[in-house]
Structure 1
Amino acid sequence: FIEALTDGGYLAALIPEEYGGAGLPVRGGAVILETINRMGCAAAAGHAQMYTMGTILRHGSEEQKAHFLPKIASGELRLQAFGVTEPTTGSDTTQIKTRAERKGNGYIVNGQKVWTSRAAHSDLMLLLARTTPADQVEKRTDGISTFLIDLREAQKNGCAINPIDAMINHNTTEVFFDNVPIPGDSLIGEEGKGFRYILDGMNAERCLTASESIGSGKYFIEKSVNYSSERIVFNRPIGQNQGIQFPIAKAYAQLEAAELMVRKATTMFDAGLTCGGEANMARLLAAEAAWECGEVCMTTYGGFAFAREYDIERKWREARLSRTAPISSNLILSYIGQHILGMPRSY
C-alpha cells in the first residue's frame, strides 16, 4: 500500500518540486488523504511523511533539505516515524524525559517513546528530546530540541523498537534509546527551539488528519445510504423508516459542517495566516463527525456491521482512534477554552 502511494508520488505531494515532489499546498495533501479514507483505506498507514517533512523544509539547513528531501520524495528513504509521546507525559510534551546530551560533535540519547506509529517501517525518525533539563530553563517550552535520526543506524547502537499489539490497523510501537549516539548534524534548526518547530507543524497535522476523518465519514454515509436503500425488512427498505433515515441525515449534516471548517483551516494555512484555532476546531469537528457517521453506519447494518467482510467495524475502530490520537478531543476543547475564548487554563 505504502509502496503504491510512494510510486504514485502521493506521499511526496507536499515536497517542493525542486526536491522531487509535487509542490502542492496542504489543501492538496488533504484531498489526497480524504480520498484514500473515502475509498475505505486507512491513510494513517503513511500520512506522517506529509507533515513531518514540513519540519525539515521550514527549519532544516540547506544541506539537510538537499540530502533528505529528494530521497524521501523518491521513496529511497521513508520518514514515517514521529517520536514525541512518552509513557509518563502523554499530551504534556513539555515534560518529556528523553534526553539528548552533548558529547563531542554529537549527542547521546536516552529515553523512551510510546505510540510511535510506523517506526518499524521507517528509515528516519523525527525525534523530540530535551537538551537542557526542565529545571534549568525559564519556560517549560525551552530546552527541547528536534532531531532527524537514522533509525537503521540507531538500532545498531542501543535503540530498540518493540511492536504494540493494538486494535488499530496500522503498526505502532514503543521505542527505547539506551545511550544511542547520533551525529551533531541530526539537529534540526537551533538547539532548544524544537518545541516551537513541532508546534509550527502541528497545524498541518491537524488539517491533514481532519481530512482523513472527513473521508471516513463520507465512506460511512455512502455505505449507510446504499445499504438502507437495498435492505428490505417488512416489505420495505429500512431507509424508509425515520429511525434509520433521520440519524443518517443528521450525521451527514454534521459532516458537511465539519468539512467547511477543514477547508477554512487549510485555506488559511496555505495563505500563511495564523490558524491554530481553525486547525484545532477542524480536527475536533471532523473526528466527532466521523465517529457519529460510524455509529450510524453500525446501527444501519445491524448485526452485519460486526462481520469483517463488510469493512464497517474496521473503519469504525479507525474513527474511534481519531478522537484520541494524534490529539484528543478533550485537549482541543481545552485549547479552544483557553486560547480562543480566553478562559482560565483547565489543567
Structure 2
Amino acid sequence: MDFAPDPDHEAIREGVRNACTPFDDDYWRTCDTEHEFPWDFYRAMADGGWIGIAMPEEYGGGGRGVTEASIVVEEVAASGAAMNGASSIHLSMFGMGPVIKHGSEDLRSRALPSVASGELHVAFGVTEPDAGTDTSRITTRATLAADGSHYLVRGRKVWTTKAPYCQKVLLLVRTTPRDQVAKPTDGMTLLLADLQRPEVTITPIPKAGRNAVVSCEVAYDDLPVPVEDRIGEEGQGFRYLLDGLNPERILIASEALGTGRAALRRAVAYANERVVFDRPIGKNQGIAFPLAQAHMGLRAAELAIRDASWRYDQGLPSGEAANTAKYLAAEAGYRAADQAVQTLGGMGYASEYHVERYWREARLMRLAPVSQEMVQAYVATNVLGLPKSY
C-alpha cells in the first residue's frame, strides 16, 4: 500500500481551502442562527467546479471519483462550515448517482449538466413518517395515467433536505403495492419530479442543528411526473437507490471527519491559550490526553474512509468498508466535538466559540443517513454471518 501524498489530492485540498477562506466561523454561525441557506458559499463552490467533481465529464462534471468528492466535503467541514456547509453541496455531489447509472440518455442530458454547474438543485425524497430505516414500508404512491404519459404521485415524505430551494426531487414511490410483490423491496420506482408546484406542500421541520440547511416534510397531492422522467425501469427503484448508499456513507463519514478536525483545532488553540492556576490548561493531562485520543480516533477514521472510497472507485465490493467508515468517523467526529466543548468548559456552551455548533452537527451524523445501530446490524449479519435481527 502507498501512503505517499497524492499531488492531485493535495491540490484539491488546497483549492477547497482557498474557496472556503472567505467564509469564516462567524459566517456559518450567522447562517445557522438565522436559518439562512449559505448562498454565497454555494455559488463559490459551484463557480469553482467543486459540486460536479464526481460527475462524468460529458455532462459537464470533473470526471473524478468518490475519493475526490470525499476530500472536498472533508475540507469544507474542516474549514468551520461543518455540516451546514457540506450539506449544502453534498446531495448534488452524490444524489444523482442513480440518474448517472440508470437514467435514460435524454434524462441525463437534461439534468446532469445543470446539477454539475450548480444551477439545478435536487432534493432526495425517500424517508416517510412511518417508513424510516425500513424503506419497504413507504406508502407514497405513483399511479400511471390511462394514456401512459405520466404518473400522479400522492403521499408524504419527511427529512427532505433543501426542499424550498430545489427545482427537482429524486422521489422514491410505490408503483405496485407491497402486498402484490414477491419481495417487499420490489415494486418501488424512482422519479425525478418537479418540486416547486401547486400540488406540493413544503413544511420546514424545526431541529437542533444544521439550521442553515432546512429539512422538510413534503406532501404530494396528485403531482404529475412525465414517464420520461422515470429513472430506469418501473419497479426497480429500490435497487437503483442502493447504488447511491455507499457513496453517501463515505461522504457523510468525511463530513464527520472534517467537523471533528475543526472542533479539535479550536480546542487545542484554547488549551494552549487559556491560563488557570498560572499554567495553560493544555499542560494538564486531564485536558491533553482526551484531545490526543480524539486526534487518534480521527486518524483511524480517516484511514477507514480512504479504504472505503478507494474500494468504491476501483469497482470493488465496498459495503462493509463504507459502513465501517461511516460508523467510525461518526463516533470519532462526535467525540472530538464533545471533548472540544469539555475543554472550553462553560465557554464551550457559548455560541461565540463555535464548538457548540460543531457538537450539534456532529451529533446528527450518528443518526443520519443511517443510525449507528443499523450499521452494526449490517456488519453482524452481512460480514459476520449472524442471524438477521430485523
What range is the shorter-chain TM-score in? over 0.9
Aligned to 1:98: 140
Aligned to 1:88: 130
Summarize the alignment of residues 239-278 of structure 1 with structure 2, pairs less than 5 Å apart. Answer: 239-278=282-321
TM-score, structure 2 as length reference: 0.86
Matched residue type, 1:220: A
The yes-or-no answer on 1:144 pairing with 2:217 is no
Aligned to 1:34: 74
Q: Which 4+ runs in 1 deviate beyond 4 A?
A: none
CA deviation vs aligned residue, 1:273-311 (integer Å, no higher than 9, x gap): 110111011001000100000111000011111111111
TM-score, structure 1 as length reference: 0.97
Contact 1:45/1:171 (CA < 8 Å) preserved in 2? no
Aligned to 1:50: 93
Instruction: Give me the CA root mean square deviation.
Output: 1.0
Aligned to 1:14: 54
Q: For residues 244 and 3 of structure 1, what CA distance do their matches in structure 2 show?
A: 40
Q: For residues 224 and 331 of structure 2, what CA distance do their matches in structure 1 show?
A: 42
Aligned to 2:346: 303
Q: For residues 220 and 279 of structure 2, what CA distance do their matches in structure 1 show?
A: 61
Summarize the alignment of residues 104-123 of structure 1 with structure 2, pairs less than 5 Å apart. Answer: 104=147, 105-123=149-167
Q: For residues 246 and 15 of structure 1, what CA distance do their matches in structure 2 show?
A: 42
Contact 1:119/1:172 (CA < 8 Å) preserved in 2? yes
Q: For residues 54 and 327 of structure 1, what CA distance do their matches in structure 2 show?
A: 18
The yes-or-no answer on 1:127 pairing with 2:167 is no
Aligned to 2:206: 165
1:283 equivalent among 323, 326, 333? 326
Q: For residues 132 and 94 of structure 2, what CA distance do their matches in structure 1 show?
A: 20
Q: For residues 75 and 321 of structure 1, what CA distance do their matches in structure 2 show?
A: 25
The yes-or-no answer on 1:339 pairing with 2:373 is no
Contact 2:330/2:365 (CA < 8 Å) preserved in 1? yes
Q: How big is the shift at 1:46? A: 2.3
Structure 1 unmatched ranges of 5 or more: none
| SS state at 2:189 partner | strand
| SS state at 1:15 partner | coil
| SS state at 2:96 partner | helix
Contact 1:101/1:109 (CA < 8 Å) preserved in 2? yes
Q: How big is the shift at 1:254? A: 1.1
CA deviation vs aligned residue, 1:52-74 (integer Å, no higher than 9, x gap): 11111111111111111111122
Aligned to 1:193: 236
Contact 1:217/1:255 (CA < 8 Å) preserved in 2? yes
Q: How many aligned residue pairs are there? A: 343
Aligned to 2:12: none
Q: How big is the shift at 1:76? A: 2.6
Q: How big is the shift at 1:214? A: 0.7
Q: For residues 236 and 148 of structure 1, what CA distance do their matches in structure 2 show?
A: 60
CA deviation vs aligned residue, 1:216-250 (integer Å, no higher than 9, x gap): 11111111111101111101110111110111111
Matched residue type, 2:382: H
Q: How big is the shift at 1:139? A: 0.6
Q: For residues 39 and 122 of structure 1, what CA distance do their matches in structure 2 show?
A: 25
Q: For residues 158 and 119 of structure 2, what CA distance do their matches in structure 1 show?
A: 26
